Structure 1
Amino acid sequence: MLNLRIVSAIIIISSAFSCQFKGEKTSDYAYIGGEIINPKNNSIVLFNTDGKIIDSINLDKNNRFIYKIENLHPGLHSITHGGEYQMLLLEPNDSIMLRLNTYDFDESLVFTGHGAKKNNYLLKTYLSGEKEAKKLVRYSKMEPETFNVFVEKRRQKQLDDFNDFLVKNEESEFFKSIIEANINYNTYADKEIYPFAYFGNNKLIHVKDLPEDFFDHRKDIDYNATYLSRFFAYNRFLFSHIDNLAVHKYYENHPYHSKFNRHSKDYNKYKLDLIDSIVSDPIIKNNLLKYKAREYISYNHTEADANDILQYYLEKSTNEEDKLYMNDLVCSLKLLRLGNPLPNISIVNYDNTEHLINSIITKPTIIYFWSSNSKSQYRNSHYMVDKLKSEFSDMDFVSININDNNDKFWKNIIDNYKFPTVNEFKFKNSNEARKTLAVNYLNKCIIVDENGIILHPNANIFNSDFNSMLEELLQKKHLMVKQDAL
């Protein structure tokens, strides 16, 4: 239920904009307007259905905005503000207003106006899918037959609820296809992810023993659904589906009972081959190629293997901007190899004092990253580090916020959650530093020794084997020191 304060604010916004919406009858444009509570900067950026920028829209003194989209191409548009991202469906004659609080972006977002019902429903299905995805680890403990029945019943319940909504609300066929895709592809993604969670690396060969109808959904897949190319549920499915298909190819060329290795070079080449063969839409194809190649290259492989996958990727991609990005990534990772000194970037502490990162390193250190836009990640990472501190008391832990927003958002989070301000930093130049340190994933951490020499360039504190890996690293370092002393 909306509280009275929110309802009142929406009425005020509606009144302020109604004169501009009233009486407008058109078939080729739409309006979007609204209010941002606690804005992170003074504008929002609006993107079209192809992901290209339409315009940067300034907020007024009351943190409100209104914008008319000319020559509207109906479909999924998006807005970004301060690193947060939100999709919305725009069709001719829509006049959508939104209100959100940046401190709780998704949960506070409310749409009003003509076209609001479909966007509120879209947001509802997105949040529901996100919530269910977080439970997948628990669900994946079910036996295959039970899991299959469970997710199919859940999918049908969601489709039935949507049909009830359509009985009361007349919406376009395009909107229907979007909601159905969100429901279906989230379920299909769960099915594709399930074998990896249920069997694990040691028994993944048994994916072939799943019930005969487990992957029946594959008969209904459109690998070239351009209108879904930037849709989370669709991409979540494609990413896991490609991984799953490549497993079968992997076991054609590896011993039947061998342990599955997701980081093997041939398995990752199989994924790129599959994408190249089954996807023809250039946007979807190039996107999949980029992220699957990046997954491999970002892992702690040899320089030769990284270059091999890079060349394999470059032969298949047709996106020149992506190719440049991947080349730059490989160059950055060369500087982050084991045994190299950590690049000496500039960071700023809670008291606004600038430091070169190597100047604050005096003992073995874990450098971890977080974003103001990912509440669960920054809470969990700080919680995990608290546990690590008690187990590895001889180490330092350096926390770096990666955002380039106003400092108050970074500091408000630190204050609100009572994170210790010692060793809390942010990048002085976020874009440059993220590129230099190859921070493509928030859960990445870099481990260095007391001299700032890299021991591990791409670890993950949430991995189940992180503690044992860290103990092994420190033990090796200890032995090296003893040998050097001798």
Structure 2
Amino acid sequence: MMKISLISKHIALICLLTSLTIGCKPNSNDKGDYAYIGGEIINPKNQNIILYDTKGKVVDSLTLDFNNRFVHKIEDLQSGLYMITHGGEYQKILLEPNDSIMFRLNTYDFDESLVFTGDGAKKNNYLIKTYLFNEKQEKKLVKYSKMEPEAFHDFTEERRNNQLKELSSFLEYNKESELFKTIIEANINYNSYADKEIYPFAYFGNNKLIHIKDLPEEFFAHRKDINYNSKILTRIYAYNRFLSSHIENLATHKYYDDNAYHSKFNRHDMSYNKSKLDLVDSIISDETIKNNLLKYKTRDYVSHNHTVVEANEMLEYYLSKSSNEEDKKAMKELVSSLKLLRQGNQIPNLAVINYDNSEYNLNSIINKPTIIYFWSSNSKMQYRNSHYKVKGLKSKFPEVNFISINLNSNDDKTWKEIINNYDFPTTNEYRFKYPKKSRKILAVNYLNKAIIVNENAMILHPNINIFKSDFSKSLGKLLQKKHLIVAK
């Protein structure tokens, strides 16, 4: 942890205690680019706050004091989006020279309770507002996607323009930097652009996706304004969401070049997935953005139930394009792990710990057809939705057992608090004894991944999504062992 003098720390703490209401001005004798960040956490999950820099690397591990408060000075500040994490929750913060930002939050309602005060507070409160708005709109995308194309286009454009007008009004009365303006505009624009790229998949479905070519000419007019290589925007979720869906969309044209006009769309087709890597390689020059997209698109493919031959073919194609040696090593390890998870293999026997702190081997707690699903303390929406979904599935499939496994590496305090706060049944709630190793062995790269095994702990499906609309139908067939094929 960065050292500061006892006197400076004492002054900073006094400043912090008053800053929650009146703000905090740093010492005018400070030299160079710096910023202060501090705050108070209500109902803390532990005593630690982790601070990450603009590149996603850990800057410092900070400790709450006896009043659940902290303050920290960042020296040699690089302007941009920093991130703080606490108890599995995270929040991005825009920091620029001479900012003195304090926040107050309640962990029981992390995002909605977060309020900033001090120099730099207004821009960060505005940033949170756009994040929360985008999050709510994303949840409604399935509903919006039932609109006709012209109506959907008009709706997203009106929504985007209203947000931009609101931003313009804010900037009339608040002098903020070009960096702030760039980030907020990107949050607004790329969120709507992503919705347009995702829309055809939801509206047409797999059987009629060929009609993507019949969309109005102006539907994808936003593509002429895209910056594929913005280092500033790489920390913005809306930008990355757009790039990912945009590549998927562009690759559909190649798919229908290679398949019959009325063919049902198959997102697991080898040529379609290779064309995604080709597109990333051809239109993106920034190495970080390119390597990340190559990694995620390859992982999407190999994580599904392909044969070993197909997985190896895709791996080799990826290795020929990525320049990130660490990513390439991880992808090789993933493909090796997936070979152990073929249909017909026994599920790896990993150590798990239940709510009462008793340790078991995973195989020993399986005595009937079982769905193993996963969740993270970092994703409130996902763990709430997954447990709610399973509650319904239990009624529909009484002959099936459901095992819930938490993926986090922190101590069991946070895990148990979440279970208690949301009244989840403690029976069949587990965490891994060795989380990092276990996640790698079971290739858990997605929170919505689930594994189905029979009463003998033999894998029926190594990677299925319980939220898919056809999940119940697929599960019924698997339980009858109609799809049990040992891949070679």
Question: Given the two structures, how large is their TM-score scaled by the length of structure 1?
Answer: 0.93
User: Which residue of structure 2 aligns with residue 4 of structure 1?
Assistant: none
Matched, 1:103 2:93: no
**2:394 is aligned with what amino acid?**
K
User: Which residue of structure 1 aligns with residue 9 of structure 2?
Assistant: none
Structure 1 residue 23: Cα displacement: 3.1
CA 478–157 in structure 1, closer or farther in 2 if over 3 Å, else same: closer
**220-229 or 403-412, which deviates more:** 403-412
User: Which residue of structure 1 aligns with residue 66 of structure 2?
Assistant: 61
**330-339 or 192-201, which deviates more:** 330-339
Structure 1 residue 62: Cα displacement: 2.6
| 1:248-283 residue CA offsets vs partner (Å, 9 max, x unmatched) | 111111111101101111101000000000001111
Structure 1 residue 432: Cα displacement: 1.5
Alignment partner of 1:270 out of 275, 279, 285: 275
Query: Structure 1 CA distance, aligned partners of 2:302 and 2:139?
Result: 27
User: Which residue of structure 2 aligns with residue 325 of structure 1?
Assistant: 330
User: Which residue of structure 2 aligns with residue 116 of structure 1?
Assistant: 121
Alignment partner of 1:233 out of 238, 241, 244: 238
Alignment partner of 1:427 out of 423, 432, 442: 432
User: Which residue of structure 2 aligns with residue 196 of structure 1?
Assistant: 201
Q: Say which SS state the counterpart of residue 23 (structure 1) adopts.
A: coil
CA contact (8 A) 2:89 2:377 kept: no
Q: What is the count of residue pairs matched by the alignment?
A: 472
| 1:216-264 residue CA offsets vs partner (Å, 9 max, x unmatched) | 0000000000111121010010000000000011111111110110111
Structure 1 residue 18: Cα displacement: 6.9
Alignment partner of 2:356 out of 329, 343, 351: 351
Q: Say which SS state the counterpart of residue 54 (structure 2) adopts.
A: coil
Query: Structure 1 CA distance, aligned partners of 2:451 and 2:484?
Result: 21
Query: Structure 1 CA distance, aligned partners of 2:433 and 2:245?
Result: 36
State how 1:437-456 maps to structure 2 within 5 Å.
437-456=442-461
Alignment partner of 2:310 out of 305, 308, 314: 305
CA 203–354 in structure 1, closer or farther in 2 if over 3 Å, else same: same
User: Which residue of structure 1 aligns with residue 145 of structure 2?
Assistant: 140
Query: Structure 1 CA distance, aligned partners of 2:32 and 2:94?
Result: 15
Q: Say which SS state the counterpart of residue 83 (structure 2) adopts.
A: strand
Gapped regions of structure 1 (runs ≥ 5): 1-9, 481-486
CA contact (8 A) 2:20 2:104 kept: no
**1:275 is aligned with what amino acid?**
V
User: Which residue of structure 2 aligns with residue 3 of structure 1?
Assistant: none
The two structures, once aligned, show a CA RMSD in angstroms of 2.1
Query: Structure 2 CA distance, aligned partners of 1:104 and 1:73?
Result: 30
User: Which residue of structure 2 aligns with residue 245 of structure 1?
Assistant: 250
User: Which residue of structure 2 aligns with residue 44 of structure 1?
Assistant: 49
Structure 1 residue 330: Cα displacement: 1.0
Amino-acid identity (%) = 67
Structure 1 residue 215: Cα displacement: 0.4
Q: Say which SS state the counterpart of residue 452 (structure 1) adopts.
A: coil
CA 239–375 in structure 1, closer or farther in 2 if over 3 Å, else same: same
Structure 1 residue 87: Cα displacement: 1.2
**1:186 is aligned with what amino acid?**
N
User: Which residue of structure 2 aligns with residue 383 of structure 1?
Assistant: 388
**1:340 is aligned with what amino acid?**
N
Query: Structure 1 CA distance, aligned partners of 2:405 and 2:224?
Result: 45
User: Which residue of structure 2 aligns with residue 5 of structure 1?
Assistant: none
Alignment partner of 1:149 out of 154, 175, 178: 154
**1:397 is aligned with what amino acid?**
F
Matched, 1:416 2:430: no
User: Which residue of structure 2 aligns with residue 85 of structure 1?
Assistant: 90
**2:45 is aligned with what amino acid?**
K
CA contact (8 A) 2:407 2:439 kept: yes
Query: Structure 2 CA distance, aligned partners of 1:225 and 1:61?
Result: 42
| 1:411-459 residue CA offsets vs partner (Å, 9 max, x unmatched) | 2222233222111111112212111111111111111111111111001
CA contact (8 A) 1:27 1:93 kept: no
Structure 1 residue 177: Cα displacement: 0.9
State how 1:67-78 maps to structure 2 within 5 Å.
67-78=72-83
Q: Say which SS state the counterpart of residue 202 (structure 2) adopts.
A: helix
**225-234 or 99-108, which deviates more:** 99-108
Matched, 1:361 2:374: no
Matched, 1:210 2:215: yes
Query: Structure 2 CA distance, aligned partners of 1:386 and 1:53?
Result: 38
User: Which residue of structure 1 aligns with residue 17 of structure 2?
Assistant: 12
| 1:162-186 residue CA offsets vs partner (Å, 9 max, x unmatched) | 1111111110111111111110000
Matched, 1:457 2:462: yes
Matched, 1:161 2:195: no
CA contact (8 A) 1:250 1:266 kept: yes
Q: Say which SS state the counterpart of residue 426 (structure 1) adopts.
A: strand
Gapped regions of structure 2 (runs ≥ 5): 1-14
CA contact (8 A) 1:40 1:405 kept: no
Q: Say which SS state the counterpart of residue 215 (structure 1) adopts.
A: helix
Alignment partner of 1:402 out of 392, 399, 407: 407
| 1:140-175 residue CA offsets vs partner (Å, 9 max, x unmatched) | 100000110110011000000111111111101111
Structure 1 residue 374: Cα displacement: 2.1
**2:480 is aligned with what amino acid?**
Q
User: Which residue of structure 1 aligns with residue 6 of structure 2?
Assistant: none
Query: Structure 2 CA distance, aligned partners of 1:351 and 1:32?
Result: 39
Query: Structure 1 CA distance, aligned partners of 2:36 and 2:78?
Result: 13
Q: Say which SS state the counterpart of residue 214 (structure 1) adopts.
A: helix
Q: Say which SS state the counterpart of residue 385 (structure 2) adopts.
A: helix
CA contact (8 A) 1:346 1:355 kept: yes
CA contact (8 A) 2:24 2:100 kept: no
CA contact (8 A) 2:303 2:463 kept: yes
**174-183 or 62-71, which deviates more:** 62-71
| 1:59-108 residue CA offsets vs partner (Å, 9 max, x unmatched) | 22333222211111111222222332221111111111122222222112
CA 243–40 in structure 1, closer or farther in 2 if over 3 Å, else same: same
CA 168–451 in structure 1, closer or farther in 2 if over 3 Å, else same: same
Alignment partner of 1:257 out of 253, 262, 266: 262
